[in-house]
Each structure stands twice: as structure tokens, then as C-alpha cells.
Amino acid sequence: MSISGSIRRGLGMVAALVLVAALPASPAIAGGRGDDLSARHSLREPVTDENFYFVMADRFANGDTANDQGGLGSDPLVSGFDPTRKGFYNGGDLKGLRSKIDYIKGLGTTSIWLTPSFKNKAVQLEDGPSAGYHGYWITDFTQIDPHLGTNADLRALIDTAHSKGMKVYFDIITNHTADVIGYEEGARKGYVSKDVAPYKTASGATFDDRDFAGQPSFPALDPATSFPYKPVLDPAEQNLKVPAWLNDVTLYHNRGDTTFVGENSYYGDFFGLDDLFTENPRVVRGMIDIYKTWIRDFGVDGFRIDTMKHVNDEFWQTFGPEILDYAHRQGKPEFFMFGEVFDTTKSFTSQFTTRDRMQSVLDFPFQDAARNFASRGQPAAALQTFFAGDDWYTDADSNVYELPTFLGNHDMGRIGGFVRGDNPGATDAEWVSRDRLAHELMYLSRGNPVIYYGDEQGFTGPGGDQDARQTLFASRVPDYLDDDLLGTDATHATDNYVTTHPLYESIEGLAALTKRNPALRDGAQQHRYASEGPGIYAFSRIDRRDQREYLVALNNSETAQTAAVPTYASGRDTFKSVYGDGPRTLRAGNDGRLTVTVPPLSAVVYEANGKVAGSRSAPSVSLAQPAPAPGARGRLQVTANVGGSSFYEVTFYASDNGGPWRPVGTDDNAPYQVFDDVSDQRAGSSVRYRAVVLDNKGHTRESAARSATVPAPLVTIEAPTEGSGVRGTVEVRAVVDPERATNVVAIERRVAGGAWTRVGTDSSSPAYTVFDDLTPLNLAANTPVEYRAVLLPGGLAGPGATSAARNVRAAGPPATSATVHYYRPAGDYGDPAAAGWGLHMWGDAVAPDVLAQIAWDKPWPRAGVTDGWADYPIPLVDDTKPVNFIMHLPSGDTVPTSREPGGDRSFLPINAPEIWLIAGDPTIYTSKPAV
């Protein structure tokens, strides 16, 4: 944080203490007596005004060529160093980063975020092969990867950054290591669920790990008997990992590779990477000890935490508070942690900062919304809906203002690549304008902006992962040399540290603007105006101490747009321009509206010349009836209706079952609401809510109390899919929201509208599965079958709950073939024996001898043409597995001239043994469409 930012925050803390001096130390009871609730300010925790620069050390600058090979020799398949390949080390290091630190600071950066820099397994031959240049294949958590330098180099980098007023954040991993563990049954096996093969204690007793997660009573395990696969280590790698406890194979899940959905997203190996048993308290303690060392010995200022959503709640509920407390005791009052939760649903991403007690998460929902607005030109009103959901993050110790916001990254791709891909055929000037507009939205709205290294130089790339990891120093990678950079004639063949690049200058200017006007960084954000289509989105930013309104208006239309935007101004108040093209001053109308004109694909900012008028008395406040929050049954949506129109802050309180009032959170912009987490309350129990409004002159008013009931859990069947065909043994899988380790779920079935019959129960979370054998029923084809899941009463589940019925049908005998029908209006299917349109296929459904005949340059040919439709019969070995396919010309990969749209597509023959495709249409039709 800058010195001025520290002073500003200090003054704000004094003001807050003056205003809420009566606030007690205990967070559980607010006010001197049960019904006297204190007003609070919306939180501004230590990190609400950072500018992050996210950098991959291997790709930034090569300061020491002597460490390029990591001391492992010249063979790239041993050392991992090959500067001509995008999947290998390219030569960047910590010394290079330190040598270019003024370039980073020049952007207005206050915090450098490094990709993982611990010692990695240099090469994993199974993965391409490729190398651990990215840092996610860790073998030694105690030292810097030799390709990047030494621990002393890190210390020097941190010291230099601190001397220049910048912080350094480490990207850390808590749930996996490099791929070292193998299985007796073979390498990188498919996932085996807990319902098929439950965990067993060392003595052979079956148990559910979730019942013991984080508890000291976690059972002892035995590698020979406890896991679905027997873990083994190569003799040469039995002591490879550091610290030594990481070499204990019983501290890993050992269930095979994840598919990133459902249960296995918590328990499976990421492409073979050894997945730690984070439910085991030995793993929790080990990871806490590792990262305490980096805080104590190196002065790291914070952590970005990888793959947070793939780890159980209990881990974070221990790890987060203990690490934060330790950092504070080490003299790091602004220590900050944020996690990667790769999801765009706020009801899900927010639970890590509320229920799991972590400080913050990366704002993936913002990335999606910003791309839709700036790059795809979607309706401005979508941003209004997006920001209205910010209150999902509001609780007693955190809120949305702490979230780091970003536009692209090393996994999904770059904003420059997105604007090119979303706007084919546009000019470079338009691409640059859309790129700049995305940055304007990020810098001027709530949150902490993150620049992904190279975005300031107009880097693009055709996709994510390796295609978005170009070097800033001159590259020798052919795939990078083909990239078209935005805003410049330069290529990746030369160094790109150009401080006069238009995007570098734009980012530098935005950082300087928000530094001069702190309200634009962590002031309250209030929605003002949104066009129904592409056009203007406007909002205000207001610092509660200064009480001066800034109006931000962004235009994602390709023509200038004008709007009369509401403000807090009194009639005829004036505003001055502080950013963008437009009149130097504007005057509000008698109704307080400010008429602004925003040029195409750009932004303007106006600052009020006076302060928001002070309230003479607190406005009225009342609560709407609390209701189950949409998308999260473990939370209640509580909304306050506030009279008047000025700057207000509303604090919500809850009383559980008649107990003391607890603060839920404070909202500083309308609509005033919170989403109270009641997942630890028994379903059916009572909760009372009250709200306290605080105006801009210190006046307060309380609402009357409103009573609500903790809602019943929501039970949902995930499998089988609605309308699908079933035969033999059917996997019936259900989930419960909120998820609790104590849940017990029964699966019931009825046939042809008869009586419901229980077919089994399951208590192993987080997925509840029963395998139902239909064979003895001898069902005729198309006989209706229904399943439902019943959460049994007891514990926090209260009276329990029942899912909606899932309707399926009995399938007939197994299909031995499937048929794809393909229609091209011109009938230009080509020669089936040479260059005709055909199917590239893969998976377990198709007969192996068929797959053996298929290659990218030799797709499965048509058998003939019937009534204008090309027919592709496909021999099958298992109609319950998907047929995965691409329709294309031999070696063709250009949509739509040589490949059909829709990406990798599939169908399930048991449900639809025949499908129909139309040229240029990604839809898979299960009945013949009209053409």
C-alpha cells in the first residue's frame, strides 16, 4: 500500500471509531443491551485499494542464464528447458523480475503476485511431455525452483519490492503435489467413487472421511487396505518430496483422476497430480506449517491460493484464520489471502469468504461480466444485475470490496485474445478500445484490479493455458511468433517492455487517477443507470469520509451515447471532468440528474464540486420478509427498504432461536441486503432479523424485527438424467444443499405409477449414491420409471426433505449400432474414400476396431446418402457410454469450411441411437428436423 493510502485508511479508522464508539469488542453481541443495536460502517479491510500485477516468473525476464537448465543438464526432457517450446521452461527468473521492477511499478502496481515458485518436478513425460515452468508440480515446498533462482533471490526481490512501496504475493498450493505416486493397478487410473469403494481404516473398518474431517480422531490408514487403488512409490522417489511428511502415501486420496465434477472434484487427482487428503488434520497442520515459514523467513505479504473450490470446507475454516493470525503476530497487519474459485456463480464463490472464513476470492464472475460488456457488447443492463449480486459476499468481517478483479489469466486466456476472437474482422483500433474499456471498468468499479503480465503490451494468443503464457523477453516459440499484438507493430520476436504502448499508458493513467481520487478505488459503489441494450452503464463512487460523489459512465456501444443519470446532487450542482473526453464541467438538473455523453467504447468520470447534502434525520427503514436465497438453500436473503435518497449504510443483525443478536453485515449501496448463512442452524428453527440505517451525518434508526424460518434443505437428483433410458444396474445420485457430513439420503423408485419402494440409503457425502438393479423386474421397453431422493430427518436436516421425481424409461435390448445423419444443403459431401466429410470419434461406446481405423486425416466415412442426408452407421460395444465426435474434412479444423461448429460433441446411444446434424448448426437433433 502507498503511504498516502495508509494515512487515508488511518484517518478513516479514527472517524469510524468516533462514530461507532459504542460498538463492543465481542462480535457476538452488538449494543449495550439486547434490543439496542449499534450502527456500523461497511467494511474496508486492509486490502481494498491494491493494484496487482500477476506475473509468471519463467516468462517475464531472464536475469541469469546460468540457471536456465536448473542444474539438470542440457537434455530438455530432463532439465525441462527449451526456449523454443511453449510447454517448457523459457528462461525467466527472479533476478530478471527484480531487474525490471521499475517497469512493473510504472504501471501503478502496488502488489506483485507471482505464480508458484517452489521447486517443481522439472518434466512429466506423461503430460505432452511438458515441464513445470508454471510452478504447479511441486516436489519441495521449502525452496525456490532452481530454474527461477534461489531462496536468497526471492529475499532480494521482496526486499527490493518493499523498498519501492510494493508488496509481494505468493501463489500457493495446498491440495496437490507433483505426480509422484503410482498405483499397483497402473498409472493415472479412472476415478473410483466413495460409494463404489469406501475408505477403510488400517484395521479394515469402512468409514466416511467427512465424518472426521479436521478432527484429531481421524482414523489411521494403511496403503495396502484403505484405498480403492494401492499407492506405490518408485524406489528412486520415495523421499523426493519436502517436507518429509509429504512422502507418506496415506496422506493422499488415491482414488484416480478427477473429471472436475461432483464428488471427484474434491477427491480426484488433477491429471495425475497427487491429491492430498485435506480432510486429514495431519495435512492441514503440515500445510499451515509450510506457509507460516514463508511469512516468517521471507516477509511474504499474502497468498493467492490455487484450486480452492476443490478442497473441503473444514480445511479452509482452520487454515485461513490460523495463517492470518500468525501473519498479524509477525507484524503483517495487512496480510491478505485470496483463493481461486473457478466459477461464475456468486452464491457458490461467496461461500468461501462467508462460511469458510477466508478473506477473499478471485472474482471470476466479474471477469465473465466484464468480457460480456466490453468485448461482446452485451446489454449494459446485465452489469446492473451483476453488481446487484455483490451482497452475496457481505458478512460481518468481509465484503466484495476485497475481491481481486481480473480480465484474463494464465488458464483461460488474455483479454486481448478475447476481444480479437469476439470481434473478428474489427480494426486494431477497435480491439484496443475494447481492451481499454475492459480495463476502465475494472479500475473504476469495486475490487482490486489485477493486470496479467503482457496485457499492458497488447498480448493476445489464440486460447488459454500455454497459448496465454508468452514471454515479455524475445521469444523463440513459433506459436508465439505468430501472435498479432494489439496497439503495436511489434511481435514476440523482440523484447516487449514498452512504456509508451497505448495500453501500458492507459493502465498507468487509470492507476494514477484512482490514486489521486481514492473514492474511485474503495468508495461505496451505487448503481445509477443502465441501457437496455449496448450503451451506457453508470454508477457512483463515494468515500464515506469525504462525502463527494464521483459519477462513472462507460459506453460499450460503437456510437456516442447520452443519458440523464441520477445522482445525489441537489438541483443545479456542478460536476467537473476528471477522466475521459467530454465537457470540462456539467450541471445537474433540478431533479439531480446529470446528462452525460460518452464517446463510443470509452468511459468518462465526473467529480461533484460539492459534498453530498447532509441528512437532517435518519431515513425510515423496514425489512421485507426474509426468504430462502435463490441458488443457496443454506442462506436467507434479507432486504431492507430505506426511505429517502442519500448516502446510507445499513447494518443487519440476526438472533438465532431467541439468542443474542449477531451482526450479519453492513451494506453501503441500494438495494440494501445480505444473504445470511444459516447452514449451521437446524432446518425449521427460527431466526429474527433487524436492520439499523446510518445516514451521512451520524443519525441512526432501527427497523422492527422480522421473523423467518431456516429453510429445509434442497435435495436434487443428479443422475440419471431426465428422460434417459435405463437398464441393468442404474446409478442414482443425489446432492443436498446445504451439504452436511451428517446427512443420510434414501433413494426410492416407482415403476409405471405404482408405489414408491426404497432401494437403498447412503450417508457418505458429498454425493449420495445407490445402485439400483432393474434386471429382476424384466421391464418392457419404454416402461416409465421414477426416482426420488429423501433426506432423512434428524440433526441439522430437521424434518428432512424430498427431491422432485426424476423420470426415466426402461431401455430395450442394448443397441449394437448408432447412426449419424448429416445434411449439407449443397450436397457437397465429397468423396468418402478420399476427401469427404466424416466423423472423428473416440470413447468407450464405439467398437475398438472402428476407432483403430480413424485418424484426424482419415475420419469415419459415410455409408451413403438417403434423401439428401449422408448416413454414418457406427458399430457399438456399449450403448450406455457416449459417442464423442467431430464432423470434419480430413485434417480440417476450420469452422465452418472444414469443420462443423460445436466443438467436441457427443450423444448417448441408449437415449438416442440416431441423431441428425445440419451444416453450420451446432445442435444435435434426436429427431429428424425439417430442412
Residues that are catalytic? 306, 340
> Residue 12: phi, psi to the nearest 5?
-65, -35
Question: What is the distance between the alpha carbons of residues 874 and 862, in angstroms, rounded to a whole number?
Answer: 10
Q: 324: which 3 cell numbers?
A: 492470518
Tracing cell 457430513 back to the chain, one arrives at: 741
Question: What is the distance between the alpha carbons of residues 783 and 377, in angstroms, rounded to a whole number?
Answer: 48
Q: Which residues on adjacent β-strands are paired with residue 802?
A: 790
Question: What is the distance between the alpha carbons of residues 573 and 842, in angstroms, rounded to a whole number?
Answer: 67
Tracing cell 492507459 back to the chain, one arrives at: 506
Q: Which residues on adjacent β-strands are paired with residue 555?
A: 536, 602
Q: Fill in the amino acid letter for 891.
A: S
Within 8 A by CB and 6+ apart from 14, the residues are: none
Distance between first and last Cα of the chain: 63
Q: Residue 504 is inside which H or E element, if any? A: helix 502-516
Pick from 128, 220, 132, 122: which is nearest to 173 by CA?
132
Question: What is the distance between the alpha carbons of residues 268 and 276, in angstroms, rounded to a whole number?
Answer: 9
Q: In Å, how far are 53, 412, 453, 793 from 115, measured between CA atoms? A: 11, 15, 11, 46
Question: What is the distance between the alpha carbons of residues 909 and 914, in angstroms, rounded to a whole number?
Answer: 7
Taking the CA atoms of residue 253, residue 259, residue 262 and residue 268 in that order, the dihedral angle to the nearest 10 degrees is 0
Our CA angle for 599, 600, 601, nearest 5°, is 120
Q: In Å, how far are 333, 346, 385, 395, 544 from 353, measured between CA atoms? A: 19, 11, 21, 8, 24
**Hey, is 800 helix, strand or coil?**
coil
Output helix, strand, coil percentages for the chain, rounded to the nearest 5: 20, 30, 50
Question: What is the distance between the alpha carbons of residues 341 and 392, in angstroms, rounded to a whole number?
Answer: 15
Contact 233, 181 (CB under 8 A): yes
Longest dimension (CA), the chain: 86
Question: What is the distance between the alpha carbons of residues 870 and 917, in angstroms, rounded to a whole number?
Answer: 10
Pick from 584, 601, 245, 600: which is nearest to 434 by CA?
601
Question: What is the distance between the alpha carbons of residues 636 and 623, in angstroms, rounded to a whole number?
Answer: 13
Question: What is the distance between the alpha carbons of residues 758 and 778, in angstroms, rounded to a whole number?
Answer: 18
**Hey, is 297 helix, strand or coil?**
helix
Q: Which residues on adjacent β-strands are paired with residue 737?
A: 714
Q: 631: which 3 cell numbers?
A: 441458488
Our CA angle for 724, 729, 734, nearest 5°, is 65
> Residue 889: phi, psi to the nearest 5?
-80, 155
How many other CB atoms are there within 10 angstroms of residue 428's CB atom? 15
How many other CB atoms are there within 10 angstroms of residue 836's CB atom? 16
Pick from 736, 760, 737, 730: which is nearest to 748 by CA?
760
Question: What is the distance between the alpha carbons of residues 411 and 469, in angstroms, rounded to a whole number?
Answer: 9
Exposure letters 636-671 (e unless 16+ CB within 10 A, then b): bbbbbbbeeeebbbbbbbbbbeeeebbbbbbbbbee
Distance of CA 212 to the CA centre of its chain: 28
- Side-chain half-sphere exposure of 925, counting CA atoms within 13 A: 13
Pick from 221, 213, 200: which is nearest to 281 by CA?
213
